[in-house]
Amino acid sequence: MPKDKKPPLGLESPTLSLPDKAPNQCSEQDQDPTRKRLLQSYLLKVDLHLLPISFMVYFFSVIDRNNIGNAKLAGMPEHLNLHGQQFNWIVSSFFFTYIFFEIPSNYCLRQLGARVWLPVITIAWSVLVACMACAKSYGALVAVRVLMGCFEAGYVPGFIYLCSFWYTRKQIAPRLALFFSAGMFAGIWAGPLAARLQKIKGGLEGYQYIFLIEAAITVGLALIMWVVLDNYPETARFLTAEERAAGLRMLSEDKTQSARAPFRPQQVLGALSDWTLWGYAVIFWASALGGATQAIFGPTLIAAMGYESTHAQVLSAIPSACGFVVQIASMFFPRIHSRYSPWIMVCSGLACAFYAVIASVESTKVRFAFLCLANAALSPNMPLVSMWMSMNVLGVTKKGVAAAVTVMFGGVSGLIGAHVYRERDYPRYRFGHIFVCACNALIFLVALALQLYFRWENRRRDKKAGDGVVVVDGSAMSENVIEETDDKRPDHRYTW
């Protein structure tokens, strides 16, 4: 192509070249008012079509997953004659399939598109939640929860993967924080909502109304999602041609892969061999374990402090509210300090200390207060590690695998977390508190290890570039080469 002509807007290929200016410098194109206006319009429209409905579906997915804990206080164990550790196994059975269906679900999303796949799995798990109201035995509840895990497994990694096609890596960060805050927001409303639903007078048990009504709401949201979602910017119905071109150009400049890049099954093993991917997953696992135990056993822990069941349902909203506020605030953490590992280390260190206090003191009021503080401290780490991963992982296949594996480990946390607060530890549940304390110590250590590695790797790449090892010829890389090199490409620098 002649030098005086440029490729069509939005169609440039990323180039294998080192930046010739500081990353925070703006080009003349970035300052162009027309382009700026188009990008603002692009982001506003994408946000309105993706975020509200995704937030609400995740809100109810967390409620649907954890309302088994509210059903326990509403009399389900007595009605179904559950005993011993049967309730714990009902809780954990969900995660037996949840942990294995993350990657297959992302592959199906890639093949069918988010507009079809996400509503389909949402309706499927909602129908199964309603089926829990009809279950008459321990075995039936386990079977339904196992099937629920198959479908709900795909929602969170599917949303993370979907965002990678619409936003730059920096733009994804605050949106992931907002998305994950829906989980804490669900914790605020789950207890009071369940307390109200279990009081409905009719021919069913109170816990059955919890399952049926919450499932019906989620089905309605799935239908709305099918109407408003689009798969990719290239095919978005709600964008003008100019907005689409400006958005695609922005994504190309960020080295974000386009929707045309294929998902490459042969590269899955290569992605799984990267130890840093497992580091993110371990942090997500340990963070999710604290959140899962709070969501499922929060009402039980509060009831064990001496509160009657309906009151405990309502009081369980307070620790969740503390977590929700801090999780929303975590959207702005990178603006205060642009590194992710220090924030994760601070939050995990505080959570570790707070759980140690809960496990060691006798006072009910002190334990409840530190339960609120612990929930606030552990809540930012899931969105923070997801942001961190989205900043560092490149390539369609690797990004999809990373999102799936990370959330898969979140499922493992639910499987284990269902058994750390044991009935034989009533009323103090000291073992569970110590276990979550140890998980937060592990987060601190893994975040430190990743930080040290990324800083070393960045210095190594800088040295190679300074020695002239990287050949910069200005030639465009093909999509195949971009996909094969992912974040190992020499012009990429890790955020630590």
27 pLDDT exceeds 50?
no
Is position 2 within any domain? no
The pLDDT score that the predictor gives to residue 263 is 55
How confident is the model at residue 21, as a pLDDT? 37
Return the beta strands (E) in 126-239 as ranges: none
Closest CA to 340 of 158, 491, 177: 177
pLDDT score recorded for residue 478:
47
293 has pLDDT over 50: yes
Q: Between 324 and 145, whose confidence is greater?
A: 145
Q: How confident is the model at residue 469 (pLDDT cuts 50, 70, 90)?
A: very low
Output b/e per residue, 349-368; b: 16+ Cβ within 10 A.
bbbbbbbbbbbeeeeeeebb
Residue pair 408/100 in contact (Cβ under 8 Å)? The answer is yes
Asked if residue 493 belongs to a domain, the reply is: no
- Is residue 80's pLDDT more than 80? yes
The predicted structure's pLDDT at residue 123: 96
Cβ-based neighbour number of residue 1 at 10 Å: 7
82-110 confidence digits (pLDDT tens): 887 888 888 888 888 887 887 788 888 88
By mean pLDDT, which of 56-70, 138-152, 383-397 is the weakest?
383-397
With respect to residue 286, please indicate whether it lies within any of the assigned structural domains: yes
- Tally of structural domains, the chain: 1
Percentage with pLDDT > 70 across the chain: 85
For residue 224, what pLDDT is reported?
95
**pLDDT number for residue 255:** 58
Q: 412 by DSSP, 3-state: which?
A: helix
On average, the pLDDT of the chain sits at: 80
pTM above 0.75, yes or no: no
419 occurs within a structural domain: yes
The backbone torsions φ and ψ at residue 10, rounded to the nearest 5 degrees and listed phi first, read: 90, -5
Confidence of residue 222 (pLDDT cuts 50, 70, 90): very high
Does 9 map to a domain? no
Average of per-residue pLDDT across 403-409 = 76
Count of alpha carbons within 13 Å of 23, Cβ hemisphere only?
8
Average pLDDT over residues 200-217: 89
Alpha-carbon span 156 to 250, nearest angstrom: 25
Give me the domain span that covers residue 399. 35-239+254-460+482-488
Nearest 5°: CA angle at 350, between 349 and 352?
65
Count H helices, E strands: the chain?
A: 21, 0
Q: Please indicate, yes or no, if residue 107 is contained in any of the structural domains.
A: yes
pLDDT for the residue numbered 345 = 94
Residue 258 DSSP symbol = P
Q: Answer whether residue 14 shows pLDDT above 50.
A: no
pLDDT score at 223:
95
Q: Which long-range contacts (CB under 8 A, 24 or more apart) does 126-130 make?
A: 126/64, 126/215, 126/216, 126/218, 126/219, 126/222, 127/215, 127/219, 129/64, 129/67, 129/211, 129/214, 129/215, 129/218, 130/211, 130/212, 130/215, 130/216
Which distant-in-sequence residues (6+ apart) come within 8 Å of 339 by Cβ? Answer: 451, 495, 496
Q: Which two tokens stand for residue 232?
A: 């990719």
Greater confidence, 359 or 25?
A: 359
Report pLDDT for 467. Answer: 57
Q: What confidence score (pLDDT) does residue 13 get?
A: 31
pLDDT at 463 over 90: no
Say if 337 falls within a structural domain: yes
Q: What's the mean pLDDT in 175-192? A: 82
CATH of the domain at 286: 1.20.1250.20
C-alpha torsion sign, points 20, 459, 399, 126: negative
- The residue ranking higher by pLDDT, 470 or 411, is 411
CA distance 144 to 464: 55
Whether 59 maps to a domain, the answer reads yes
